[in-house]
Amino acid sequence: MSIPRRLEAMKYMAVMQAPQPYCYIENGYDYVDNDIGNEPADDASKCCQKCYVFPKCSAWSWSNLNGGTCWFKSAQGAIVVNANVKSSLLLYSPPNVCQLQADIDYVDNDLARVNSPTASGCCDLCRNYPGCRAFSHNNYNGGSCWFKKAKGQTVPATGVTSAEVYPAPPKDSSCPNALQENTDYVDNDIGNAKSSTPGGCCTICKNWNGNGVCRAFSWSNYGGGTCWLKSAKGNTMQKNGVTSSTILDNPPVSCVLEDGIDYVGNDFANVPGTADSCCAACKAKAPMCKAYSWSNHQGGTCWLKTAKGQTAMNPNVKSAII
């Protein structure tokens, strides 16, 4: 084979092997903000390929402005209902939408109730209802779809089946846990940093002032994109345009006494005191002291420990970690 023909074959193979874009168009929704450019298109379906070749485009919205315009986005961001707009994430395979979750309820965010004898019947009903992006189904009144503005929090609920009807943004490879859209982690702030995307917060949080300091974050588009870094997940609330995730599990609650439990071994010191005073005594010996047990020995003694270790039942002892 000649060199020119070999080069052409290599180019062809590169094109064939490259991931091809796929867009699941959401009729009647606008992805607000995060704009990075625009191009004319007389039909929304043409935005998919245009986004694919536009640098850093991961989502788009289309409106009929000037005969049709694709608005390219760096991220999906907040989603609002707009009958004149169509939007989509840039995907690389058909998404698994409307995956039914048995015995799971999506709490709050209710829009309306529509009758359906089956949970699967709620999928198309939800897609055709303005503002509906998820649902929970139960057997109320012969079968009911409870339409939701967003997935929100989930709780176990026997007899309830739930699903999202539009694809979620792909999980960022740097994030150990899924990104929660339209969810804010309240309080526990330890700092903030700039990031144009929520996924960028994962690496920032991991590296914030040493391992284990930042355990969670919430991201908003404030100032072009800001990570609000957290020492723990804490309470959550629905907030459009905010995306949150955890990097590490919350630390154990400090100095919560376990009545009737003795932490066996690992002692390095002891001090006189009450069970309530042991917490401060242990913290004063940190980082060596990580746990303690209290007994009424000599009127009250805190037994300071380098680790919790094994436990044993003892009605005369109280223990805790810090």
Q: What is the pLDDT of residues 106-124, one digit of tens each?
A: 988 899 999 999 999 999 9
- If one compares 170 and 282, the residue with the highest pLDDT of the two is 282
Residue 134 has pLDDT above 90, yes or no: yes
Among the residue ranges 50-54, 66-70, 111-115, 154-158, the one predicted with the least confidence is: 154-158
Q: Residue 50 contacts by C-beta under 8 Å, 6 or more apart in sequence?
A: 39, 41, 60, 70, 72
Mean of the per-residue pLDDT values of the chain: 86
Q: Give CA–CA dist 60/48, Å, rounded.
A: 8
Q: Quote the pLDDT of residue 296.
A: 94
Residue 305 has pLDDT above 90, yes or no: yes
Q: Quote the pLDDT of residue 12.
A: 40
Model confidence pLDDT, tens digit, residues 205-242: 888 876 667 889 999 988 888 999 988 888 888 888 88
Q: Quote the pLDDT of residue 311.
A: 86
Q: Give CA–CA dist 125/143, Å, rounded.
A: 13
* DSSP single-letter state for residue 107: -
- If one compares 21 and 15, the residue with the highest pLDDT of the two is 21
Among the residue ranges 18-22, 148-152, 296-300, the one predicted with the least confidence is: 18-22
pTM of the model as a whole: 0.52
Q: Give CA–CA dist 269/264, Å, rounded.
A: 14
26-89 classified as CATH 3.50.4.10: yes
Q: Give CA–CA dist 235/238, Å, rounded.
A: 11
What is the residue-wise DSSP string for 181-215? EEEEE-S-EEEEEE-SSTTHHHHHHHTTTSTTS--
User: Max Cα separation, the chain?
Assistant: 95
Residue 6 has pLDDT above 60, yes or no: no
> Which whole number is the average pLDDT over 242-261?
82
> Which whole number is the average pLDDT over 46-63?
93
Q: Do domains 26-89 and 183-246 have the same CATH topology?
A: yes
Check if the beta carbon of residue 279 is closer than 8 Å to that of residue 318.
no
> Which whole number is the average pLDDT over 295-303?
95
Residue 302 has pLDDT above 70, yes or no: yes
Check if the beta carbon of residue 195 is closer than 8 Å to that of residue 224.
no
Residue 2 has pLDDT above 60, yes or no: no
- If one compares 108 and 67, the residue with the highest pLDDT of the two is 67
Residue 1 has pLDDT above 70, yes or no: no
Most confident of 89-103, 128-142, 275-289: 128-142
101-164 classified as CATH 3.40.50.2300: no
Domain segments of the chain as ranges:
26-89, 101-164, 183-246, 258-321
- The CATH number assigned to the domain with range 183-246 reads 3.50.4.10
Closest alpha carbon to 247 in 196, 320, 190: 190
Q: Give CA–CA dist 261/137, Å, rounded.
A: 44
* DSSP single-letter state for residue 91: B
Closest alpha carbon to 280 in 264, 271, 260, 188: 271
258-321 classified as CATH 3.30.360.10: no
Per the document, the length of the chain is 322
Model confidence pLDDT, tens digit, residues 154-207: 888 899 999 999 987 766 556 777 788 778 898 888 889 888 788 888 888 888
- Lookup: tokens for 317: 């002892």
